[in-house]
Chain A
C-alpha cells in the first residue's frame, strides 16, 4: 500500500493559540482511516488545513507525493480531495440536482459526471426520489446524504468526511456508516472525522485518537476499539 495522504508534524494556530500541535498521520490507498477525539481536540482544524481552508503554521501535507499545504482550496479540490463538511452545508435553496452539479464544479468530463451522478443516486436512492427538491426542505438525514453525494461528484481520490453522523437519529447513523463502507468498495479512500468513536472504529481500518491537538494513540481500529483507555474516554465503557 502506498501513502495517498501524508501529514507530517502539522501545526495550526488561531492567532497565537496553537490548536494542532505537531500532528502526523498517513492515509493509504484504499483505506478508511478515522480521526476520533472529543469536542475541541482539533479534528476539524486538521481537516480544514488539509482541505486548504486554513494555512498551517508548520509541517507538511503531501497528497500523491505532492506538497499541498498552503495551496488554495480550489487547487486542492481539483487534485481529488473532496469533502463533506461539518454541519453538512448543502446549498439550501438549490435542488438536489443543482447541489450535485456544484459538486462536479471543477470537472469537464460530461460522460464521467453523468456516470458519477448515476452512481451516487444508486448509492442514495432517497436522493433520486428527492431529485428536484430544494436541499433546505429536506430532513437532516437526507441533507447528510446529499452532502456526501455532492462530495463524491467531485470524483475524489480521497473523500474527507467531517462528522457525518452529527445530529442524526441512530438508524440514520447506521445507514450513513453502511454507505461509507460501500463507497470504499468503489475504490475511494476515506478519511473520516468523528465524535461517534464507536461507529467510526467499527467501519475504519485504522484510527488516530486526537487529544488537545496531538495524536495520543493510533493503530488498527479493531485494536483501539478494545483498548481500555479508548473505551473509557470515548466509548463510554
Chain B
C-alpha cells in the first residue's frame, strides 16, 4: 500500500497565490524593461535582446498562452481530446477580419472604434470584438460538439481533427461562396484595425500597450480557468475526465457538461484568435494549419494537463523556442562551430521528441496538477486493481 508515502499537500490556495504573484511580477518586470530600459542600453546589448527575446515575440507568446489555456479546459479539465483547436483560432481571427477592417466595403458601421469615421467597413472596438469572436467560436463549439461529444475519445479526436482541417479550408476557398466573398481567399484580410486605447489607436509597433493588453487578457483567462476549476462545473469536468460512467451516476449531466467545456474552450480560442489578428495586423488563411493544433496540444502536455500555471509555462517555453529560441540557439551554434544547419526546420523533430519523452518519463507534465502527480507515481497498483474487475 502506498498510503504512508503521501505527503501532506501544500494548501492549494497558497500555491495559487505564489504563482499569481510570480506572473504579475514577471509581467511588470518585462513591461518596465522593454518600455523604459531597453532603448537606453548600448546597441550591442539591444541586439542581443532583439535576437533572443524580441518584444513582439513576447506578445505573440502571450496569444499562444491564451489559446493553450482554452485548450486546457477541453483537454486538461474535461479530458476531451481535441486535435482541431486551430479552427477556433481561425474563426476568432476572421471575426477580427470581419468586424475590425475595411473588408465589408459596402457598409460603414463604427462602434466605439478609434479609426476615421469615414473609413468604409465594419469597425467595432477591439474590446467588443473579443467578445463577438469568442461568442461565434462558442457557437461553433456547440454546433460541432453537440453531435460529436457522444463519441468515445478516439473518435472525438478524429472528428475534431477534421473540423480543424475543414474550417481553414473554408476560409482559404471562401472568396466566392454563392457570390459572397467571406474571407478574401488566400489573400486574406489586411490590415485589421489597431486596438483602441484611451486617447489613441495603437500602432503595430506599440509594444508596451499591446503587452499590457495581452497580459491582462491572459490574466483574465487564468482567473476564469481557476474559478471554473474550483466551482461546480470544474468538479463535474474533473469527474468526467476521471470516470465518465461514475460521473453520470453522481448525477453529472454528461452532454451539458462536455458542451460547456467545449464552448468555454472555444470562446477562449476565439479571444486568442482576435488578439493574434491584431498582433499580426491581418488574417491569412494559410497560417491556420494543423501544426497549430498540435503545438497547442504539446504546450498543454508539456506544462502539465489541467494545471493552469503549468500550461502557461509550457506555452511560453514552446512559443519562445518556436519563434526565436531555436533560431537564436542555432545561430549561436552555427557561428561558433562554423556550420550552417537550419535549426528552425527541425522544430517538429524537437516537439515530437519532447512529446515522446514526456509520455515515457513525465506524463504528468513539467508542473503537474497535484492530483495527477499523486496517482501517476503512487497509485499505479491501486488503479490497476480498480480496472481489473469487469
Contact = CB atoms under 8 A, between A and B. Distances in A.
B47 interface: no
B250 A137 contact: no
A93 B375 contact: yes
B250 A136 contact: no
B152 interface: no
Contacts of B248: 53, 73-74
B3 interface: yes
Interface residues on A, range: 35 or more
Interface in B230-257: 232, 235-236, 238-239, 242-243, 245-253
Interface string A96-136: 00100111011000000000000000000000001011101
A179 to B, nearest CB: 20
A91 B238 contact: yes
B389 interface: yes
A94 B252 CA distance: 16
Nearest to B238: A94
Contacts of B252: 74, 102, 105
A137 B379 contact: yes
Nearest to A76: B251
B1 interface: yes
Nearest to B369: A93
Nearest to B372: A93
Interface in A60-91: 72-74, 77-78, 82-83, 85-91
Contacts of A90: 246, 386
A137 B382 contact: yes
B249 A143 contact: no
B6 A137 contact: yes
B236 to A, nearest CB: 7
A179 B390 CA distance: 24
Contact of B235 (A72, A93, A105, A167): A105
Given A74-B252, A105-B235, A92 B246 contact: no
B199 interface: no
Interface residues on B, range: 35 or more
A98 B371 CA distance: 11
B383 interface: yes
Contacts of A139: 1, 382
Contacts of B243: 89, 91-92
The residue in A72, A91, A101, A139 that gathers the most chain B C-beta atoms within 10 A of its C-beta is: A91
A49 interface: no
A45 interface: no
B9 interface: yes
A59 interface: no
Interface in A124-160: 130, 132-134, 136-140, 143, 150, 154
A92 B383 contact: yes
Interface in B207-249: 232, 235-236, 238-239, 242-243, 245-249
In the A-B complex, the 4 residue pairs with the smallest Cβ-Cβ separation, listed nearest first, are A77-B251, A136-B379, A89-B246, A93-B371
13 contacts: A53-B248, A89-B246, A91-B243, A92-B379, A93-B374, A101-B235, A102-B252, A105-B235, A137-B1, A137-B2, A138-B382, A139-B382, A167-B389
Given A74-B248, A94-B371, A105-B236, 16 more contacts: A73-B248, A74-B251, A77-B249, A77-B250, A89-B246, A92-B243, A94-B239, A103-B250, A105-B235, A105-B250, A134-B379, A136-B375, A137-B3, A139-B1, A143-B386, A167-B385
Interface of B: 1-3, 6, 8-9, 232, 235-236, 238-239, 242-243, 245-253, 371-372, 374-375, 378-379, 382-383, 385-386, 388-390
